Structure 1
Amino acid sequence: MRANGRETRTIWRQGDDVAVIDQTRLPHAFEIATLRTCDDAVRAIADMIVRGAPLIGATGAFGVALAMQEDASDGALRDACGRLEASRPTAVNLRWSLERMRGRLSATPASDRVDAAFREAEAIADEDAQMCSAIGEAGLAVFRDALAASGRSRLNVLTHCNAGWLATVDWGTALAPVYKAHRSGVDLHVWVDETRPRNQGASLTAWELGQEGIAHTVIVDNAGGHLMQHGEVDLVIVGSDRTTRSGDVCNKIGTYLKALAAHDNGVPFYVALPSSTLDWRISDGVREVPIEERSSREVTHMTGATRDGRIETVRLTPEGSVAANYAFDVTPARLVTGLITERGVCAASAAGLAGLFPAEARAA
């Protein structure tokens, strides 16, 4: 996708290193971070230099490749995968990509593991971009139907957090249909939840949409229900960090509240995800998905640009006030209108997912 007028991805191999966009610097600065070791990849994931379930998975794969450059032994492979998997617990793509890397490299002689690891990591990245493009095409049909049903000339879409190309290798999940629609001439406008804490909507989604020239408005997280009540939202679309085999969806904290508001107002609520985000091992998202709790500082403090362009962090809360920071919540399948995947759209249910992914469902 476009960044400063140029086509780019979020992650790529750069000689013996790996380059990523440093998302902690956006939207005020566009900077590239270089990952030279597995430890660099672990820190990039844990500190959210990279974020978004698909991109975390791709970064984990490249992290394994970097580890193999240091030590290609079986013990080093196990250690690298263990440290990478522990860096963020909720997004299932990380576990998925590490299992794939481990399976590929376990059957490869140590002398060949560096090249094999980089090839597999690049394949994971390429496949993610292809899946997200396909999600965009499937979602484009949903958008066109929603526009026709609205009776208006412009489609109003609400999204929560950042599920654009910055959260993936390219195209994005929830924003992929937005980009496909815009490039195909559909007139649309996006309501962008600020998405506290960390403000991924205000900082990242708004930046992405601006780079593509797509009309958008940033709103506070609590405004979505009001807009739905007044007919200003034609559909809601979000991404997912983990979706269970029954269709429960784990996503950025606050997603559940958007789903409740959409359900109450008859607004379609869609979730866009690649198959790598499906967790066939669990069914009950509320009880079985591990919910990451991050530093309270993300709640008590906020970073932004001053009038003279300096980047400053300020405290919002009284000194000594305790803050809790639950990073994700789970939206039950009954609140989801449909799941948009690279294989098409299905009901958020075991039967719906089995219809698109029969082999995976049988193996679960």
Structure 2
Amino acid sequence: MAKNLPLQEITAVQSVILEDDKDLLLILDQTLLPNEKKYLELRKAEDVWDAIYHLKVRGAPAIGIAAAYGIYIEAKKSGTEEYEEFCKDFKKIKNYLASSRPTAVNLFWALDRMEQVIFKHKESSIELIIKALKQEADNIKQEDEKVCESIGEYVLTLLKPEWGLLTHCNAGTIATARYGTALAPIYIGNSRGYNFKVYADETRPLLQGARLTAWELQEAGIDVTLICDNMASIVMKEGKIQAVLVGCDRVAANGDAANKIGTSGVAILAKHYNIPFYVCAPTSTIDMNTKNGDDIKIEQRAGEEITEKWYEKPMAPKSVKVYNPCFDVTDNKLITAIITEKGILYPPFDKSLTELYSNK
């Protein structure tokens, strides 16, 4: 496939698109990839909730963007001119959307930002409040694009051309507004001739690495090799990997980072083989109110995702007990650096994170 494509061409796919004149939100259905590229029309809060819960839209930033636009679309339907009644209805929808996924902090962050718009415009008409909500949702999406590009530039300073990079889950363009987080430096570097060789874990049980990361990297002309999760150790031992890049859904105040299940194991392997392990984290994923990883709520999902979801016939004994946590937490001691849009943070993370927020 073509190499050194223009950056905008590499990252052209959008996962969340507002069609304001039609009162609907288009989202790329990530459950159908890589076999079918289809956009779903979301017209009400129930549609948005379903899309987030069932991973039709996924990736912490993309979830936040979808929630922001989703609650705006619902606000447009309000038939009241009374501020208190409008607030009551808004709060109900906000809480409903917030119940869709418990781990990714961007969901709550985006919904809180939308709610603050209402409080700031208390003296305005409902019509003006709705316009302000649209602007805030646009801001969230536009800011995320800039954030991801900035993260990519910072991470790129840590990498060298021709390096082999391992990534887990999907932290790319379709998980964000554009560029991705962990994949941003790969896209930016590729456009400048770095020619990275990427190894993508399949990422069980939902196969985001196989279905999504491998798909979007291949579409962009990146040299990508798909491996099973239990092959990470051997490619590291063989010297194929010079750095590990992962995204995250929540970073605690001490630097513990929650990401797709299996990330912690990759970090342990990287530590053993003395390979740098980089967490790419927009500041919107950093939760200074969460003391450490033990305080992060880990989403539990249906066992069918493991036993039968990807098979023509069930591949496990009927009624077998299944433990299916969607995320794990990587201990801060395993993380070489946390890269945000504000810069590169190094251990001790409780200190560097505190300094980051004291300088904001």
> CA contact under 8 A between 2:13 and 2:173: conserved in structure 1?
no
Return the alpha-carbon distance in structure 2 between the equivalents of residues 159 and 237 of structure 1. Answer: 5
Which of 22, 34, 38 does residue 31 from structure 1 map onto? Answer: 38
2:295 maps to 1:282 = no
2:352 maps to 1:352 = yes
Partner in structure 2 of residue 336 of structure 1? 335
Aligned residue type for 1:358: S
Give the 3 Å change call, closer, same or farther, for CA 343–3 of structure 1 in structure 2.
closer
Return the alpha-carbon distance in structure 2 between the equivalents of residues 235 and 209 of structure 1. Answer: 17
Which of 253, 264, 277 does residue 269 from structure 1 map onto? Answer: 277
**How big is the shift at 1:5?**
8.2
**How big is the shift at 1:350?**
1.6
Q: Secondary structure at the match of 1:7?
A: coil
Return the alpha-carbon distance in structure 1 between the equivalents of residues 245 and 11 of structure 2. Answer: 26
> CA contact under 8 A between 1:20 and 1:34: conserved in structure 2?
yes
Partner in structure 1 of residue 111 of structure 2? 98
Partner in structure 2 of residue 219 of structure 1? 227
Return the alpha-carbon distance in structure 1 between the equivalents of residues 256 and 185 of structure 2. Answer: 21
Return the alpha-carbon distance in structure 2 between the equivalents of residues 119 and 346 of structure 1. Answer: 31
Return the alpha-carbon distance in structure 1 between the equivalents of residues 309 and 238 of structure 2. Answer: 31
Aligned residue type for 1:10: S
Which of 3, 15, 18 does residue 13 from structure 1 map onto? Answer: 18
Q: CA RMSD in A?
A: 1.8
Aligned residue type for 1:121: A
> CA contact under 8 A between 2:250 and 2:257: conserved in structure 1?
yes
Q: TM-score, normalised by structure 1?
A: 0.90
Return the alpha-carbon distance in structure 1 between the equivalents of residues 13 and 173 of structure 2. Answer: 10
Aligned residue type for 1:126: Q
Return the alpha-carbon distance in structure 2 between the equivalents of residues 177 and 7 of structure 1. Answer: 16
Q: Which stretch of the first structure deviates more once superposed, 65-74 or 86-95?
A: 65-74
Which of 113, 127, 133 does residue 143 from structure 2 map onto? Answer: 127
CA deviation map 1:323-350 (0-9, x unaligned): 1110000001110000111111111402
Residue ranges of structure 2 left out of the alignment (5+ in a row): 1-5, 81-85
Partner in structure 2 of residue 82 of structure 1? 95
CA deviation map 1:87-142 (0-9, x unaligned): 10000001111111001123334232322211111110110111001111111111
> CA contact under 8 A between 1:160 and 1:238: conserved in structure 2?
yes
**How big is the shift at 1:70?**
2.2
Partner in structure 2 of residue 139 of structure 1? 155
1:238-277 superposed matches below 5 A: 238-277=246-285
Give the 3 Å change call, closer, same or farther, for CA 5–54 of structure 1 in structure 2.
closer
Aligned residue type for 2:358: P
CA deviation map 1:26-54 (0-9, x unaligned): 00000011111122111111111100111
Aligned residue type for 2:273: N
> CA contact under 8 A between 1:255 and 1:329: conserved in structure 2?
yes
Partner in structure 2 of residue 163 of structure 1? 171
**How big is the shift at 1:2?**
8.8
2:124 maps to 1:117 = no
Which of 197, 203, 212 does residue 195 from structure 1 map onto? Answer: 203
Partner in structure 2 of residue 309 of structure 1? none
Give the 3 Å change call, closer, same or farther, for CA 330–6 of structure 1 in structure 2.
closer
2:182 maps to 1:174 = yes
Percent identity, aligned pairs only?
37
Return the alpha-carbon distance in structure 2 between the equivalents of residues 7 and 229 of structure 1. Answer: 35
Return the alpha-carbon distance in structure 2 between the equivalents of residues 106 and 295 of structure 1. Answer: 38
> CA contact under 8 A between 2:11 and 2:220: conserved in structure 1?
no
**How many residues of Structure 1 are paired with residues of Structure 2 in the alignment?**
343
Q: Which stretch of the first structure deviates more once superposed, 3-12 or 351-360?
A: 3-12
> CA contact under 8 A between 2:31 and 2:55: conserved in structure 1?
yes
> CA contact under 8 A between 2:164 and 2:198: conserved in structure 1?
yes
CA deviation map 1:30-81 (0-9, x unaligned): 0011111122111111111100111111111111101102226111110011
Partner in structure 1 of residue 191 of structure 2? 183
